[in-house]
Amino acid sequence: MNTVMLTLVLVGGVAATVCAIMSAFTYLRRGQEPLVADRLARRWLIATAIFGISAIVLRFVWLLLR
6-10, 29-33, 50-54, range with the lowest pLDDT: 29-33
Percent of the chain with pLDDT over 90: 80
The model's pTM is 0.87
With b for 16 or more beta-carbon neighbours within 10 A and e for fewer, the 13-27 pattern comes to bebbeebbebbeebb
At 34, is the pLDDT very low, low, confident or very high (cuts 50, 70, 90)?
A: confident
Residues across the chain:
66
